[in-house]
Chain A
Amino acid sequence: MTAETIIQSLASGLLMGLLYGLIAVGLALIFGLMDVVNFAHGEFLMIAMYATFFLFAFFAIDPLLSAPLVAAALFVFGAVVYLLIVRFAVRAKANAGMVQIFSTFGLAIVMRGLAQYFFTPDYRSVTHSWLGGKTVSVAGIFLPVPQLVGALVAIAAFGALYLFINRTDFGRALEATREDAGAVALVGIDKNRVFALGWGLGAALVGLSGAVMAMFFYIYPDVGASFALIAYVTVALGGFGSVFGAFAGGIIVGLVEATTALLLPPSLKAVGIYAVYLLVVFVRPRGLFGSM
């Protein structure tokens, strides 16, 4: 193992990690807002990838251009999921935690079934997109262009999200609602509306990552499952609800995955991520940046 291979795999780990952060941040945002974990998060990613695929296959719109469209579609989808399902789940009087988990799990199963029904279980991929399969060499390190662009999109999205939360009225309403959902009602903020928009925003972010992922990953009905677990680990590692934590968590997960892949057989590369998650929460039960 030369220094070059190590740097090479750490560099690609970093790119992948930024993308993991982008996949996970929607989950963190929603959790921070209303203490709900969306167990259909991976399926949100899956339909975003399919949307990108179909826009490409039928209308020849490159993933780079369709990303905003997919994000917008997912925004609507996320808000609708909140209004139709989650809104009722959080009202449950009995077994509240259980109801949240299983209503979104049920949604995940339905979405997977629908995808199998309408899109068939076949593996699909966006072939011949503008960036697909290209690499650039930076100081002797080869970086795949789709992942590189994905990482840049992730950094830009995190920057925009930061500004959005801190500089806009809606962002402030979001912050206020997460602090105290009861009190915001007194100052005339409609809690349900903020929650719906929060779900929309969270889904839009995963939509954005789905469009990027579609450039270099196979698309099939179960694709969400493998990324969902990584997203939960990312969010929990960073600390539930912390947007910055998701960013940091993503980078850590990407680097740990790359390091594990160097040391262990490739099929075990996820073990490193899981082990780091366990180590972190055993030492700090609230994740790295989570508050009590």
Chain B
Amino acid sequence: MDTNFAKSRRRDLILAFCLAAIAALVPLFVKDVYVQNIMVLTLMWGALSQSWNILSGYCGQISLGHALYFGIGAYTTALLFTKFGVLPWFGMIGGGVISAIIAMALGYPCFRLRGHYFVIATIVIAEIGLLLFHNWDWAGAAMGIDIPVRGDSWLKFQFTRSKLPYFYFALALACVAWFVTWWLEDSKWGYWWRAVKDNPEAAESLGVVVFNSKMGAAAVSAFLVAVGGSFYAQFVSYIDPESVMGFQFSLLMALPAVLGGIGTLWGPMLGAVILIPLTELTRSFIGGSGRGVDLIVYGGLIIAISLARPQGLVGLFAPRRKEAAR
């Protein structure tokens, strides 16, 4: 690669490190629990959207069914913990591996589909998962699972007194998701994915194994999303099918990336930093009566961004860098 690109990648890494360091210091000054809660959610959705972006942004396979992997992560952790006393850390890895395997098993038939047929297949598969969990008595069916408090430690990944540990885990997750994207962007896979997104036939003819590269993207993406789901289960300590596998989660994972810039390194995080606090604040200040003002603001923002800046907001911050990244 030319030196400009290498330089800009190094600059990205340094910038990410600085931002993460600053973010890590913020809770020392911001003690308000409500604000800390928003920060945890922002980092979590940033991480999820970053993971979604690997399959849907870089590889161009738009999935609106990632709630399935989020839910599988959450359920694996919660079930292993409540039924067998397995520590959430193992549940997290287990959920990730199960999700990655399921993503590949589903990808096998689905990746032959194109365009809207693929998008609808992803929605429908997640919906089937939701309905199955709704009817799965051992997993709590529609009642869900109440995760009992068994301690206050990193070992058990439960914290009753403070939100700070959750914040640091969410920050770590966001860093991992970012770093994985950063690393993959300049790997063989990253180039394959962009080739598959732009023109699968041409990519195939140049020796890219299109099918395998889609499968790889799906597995990485699903694994990271499931880890996010595990974290969410521990964070809210109560899950039911609708609250971890509902369609709105699939949408929420996509939106920060859409807002910030699909298929870009910084887009998902930037989108989450804008979108999540905005939604949380409108919800608590105007939408508290449950009257939908938050939805209006939110939906209006999506329409405005997707029409006015289809390439996302990220280009606004580094207009010249965009050319280099192409």
Interface residues of A (CB under 8 A from B): 31, 37, 85, 88-89, 92-99, 101-103, 105-117, 120-121, 221, 225, 229, 232-233, 236, 240, 265, 267-268, 270-271, 274-275, 277-278, 281-282, 285-287
Q: Residue-by-residue, is B259-302 near A (CB-CB < 8 Å gives 1, otherwise 0)?
A: 00011000000000000000000000000001111111111111
B15 at the A interface (CB under 8 A): no
Are A113 and B292 in touch, CB under 8 angstroms?
yes
Q: Given A106-B299, A121-B290, A285-B117, check contact A99 B306 (CB 8 Å).
A: yes
B33 at the A interface (CB under 8 A): no
Q: Given A110-B296, A277-B124, check contact A99 B307 (CB 8 Å).
A: yes
Q: How far is the CB of B268 from chain A (nearest CB, A)?
A: 14
Q: How far is the CB of A26 from chain B (nearest CB, A)?
A: 15
Q: Given A233-B120, A240-B117, A287-B117, check contact A278 B125 (CB 8 Å).
A: yes
Q: Given A85-B303, A285-B113, check contact A278 B121 (CB 8 Å).
A: yes
Residue of A whose beta carbon sits closest to that of B108: A282
B9 at the A interface (CB under 8 A): no
Are B124 and A98 in touch, CB under 8 angstroms?
no
Q: Given A113-B299, A278-B121, check contact A89 B292 (CB 8 Å).
A: no
Stretch with Cβ within 8 A of A (4 or more), from B90-98, B127-135, B163-171: B127-135
CA distance A267 to B262 in the complex (A): 36
Are A277 and B120 in touch, CB under 8 angstroms?
yes
CA distance A31 to B114 in the complex (A): 15
CA distance A289 to B123 in the complex (A): 21
B311 at the A interface (CB under 8 A): yes
Interface range on chain B (Cβ under 8 Å from partner): 35 or more
CA distance A275 to B127 in the complex (A): 11
Tell me which of B116, B124, B303 contacts A110 (CB under 8 A): B303
Interface residues of B (CB under 8 A from A): 62, 109, 112-117, 119-121, 123-125, 127-128, 131-132, 134-135, 247, 251, 254-255, 258, 262-263, 290-304, 306-307, 310-311
Are B311 and A95 in touch, CB under 8 angstroms?
yes
Tell me which of A94, A105, A116 contacts B290 (CB under 8 A): A116
Are B121 and A270 in touch, CB under 8 angstroms?
no
CA distance A114 to B297 in the complex (A): 10
Are A92 and B310 in touch, CB under 8 angstroms?
yes
CA distance A14 to B116 in the complex (A): 26
Residue of B whose beta carbon sits closest to that of A287: B117
24 A-B contact pairs sorted by A residue (CB < 8 Å) = A37-B116, A89-B307, A93-B310, A98-B310, A102-B255, A105-B251, A110-B295, A113-B297, A114-B296, A116-B290, A116-B295, A229-B123, A236-B117, A236-B120, A240-B117, A267-B131, A267-B134, A268-B131, A271-B132, A274-B127, A277-B121, A278-B121, A278-B125, A285-B113
Q: Given A113-B293, A113-B296, A114-B292, check contact A236 B303 (CB 8 Å).
A: no
Report how many A-B pairs have Cβ atoms within 8 Å. 138
Most B CB within 10 A of own CB, among A99, A107, A109, A285? A109
Are B128 and A271 in touch, CB under 8 angstroms?
yes
Which residues of A have CB within 8 Å of B127? 229, 270, 274
Are A278 and B124 in touch, CB under 8 angstroms?
yes
Are A232 and B123 in touch, CB under 8 angstroms?
yes
Q: How far is the CB of B69 from chain A (nearest CB, A)?
A: 17
Are B131 and A101 in touch, CB under 8 angstroms?
no
Q: Given A106-B299, A106-B302, A240-B116, check contact A85 B131 (CB 8 Å).
A: no
Which residues of A have CB within 8 Å of B310? 92-96, 98-99
Are A94 and B311 in touch, CB under 8 angstroms?
yes
Are A109 and B131 in touch, CB under 8 angstroms?
no
Residue of A whose beta carbon sits closest to that of B307: A88
Most A CB within 10 A of own CB, among B251, B302, B304? B302
Are B109 and A98 in touch, CB under 8 angstroms?
no
CA distance A95 to B310 in the complex (A): 6
Q: Given A229-B124, A229-B127, A282-B109, check contact A106 B117 (CB 8 Å).
A: no
Q: How far is the CB of B5 from chain A (nearest CB, A)?
A: 20
Which residues of B have CB within 8 Å of A278? 109, 121, 124-125
Q: Given A99-B310, A102-B302, A106-B303, check contact A120 B121 (CB 8 Å).
A: no
Q: Given A110-B296, A114-B296, check contact A103 B302 (CB 8 Å).
A: yes
Are A108 and B299 in touch, CB under 8 angstroms?
yes
CA distance A114 to B262 in the complex (A): 28
CA distance A236 to B117 in the complex (A): 7
Given A110-B300, A278-B124, A285-B113, 12 new contacts (CB under 8 A)? A94-B311, A95-B262, A95-B263, A103-B306, A111-B299, A113-B293, A113-B297, A114-B296, A271-B128, A274-B128, A278-B121, A286-B117
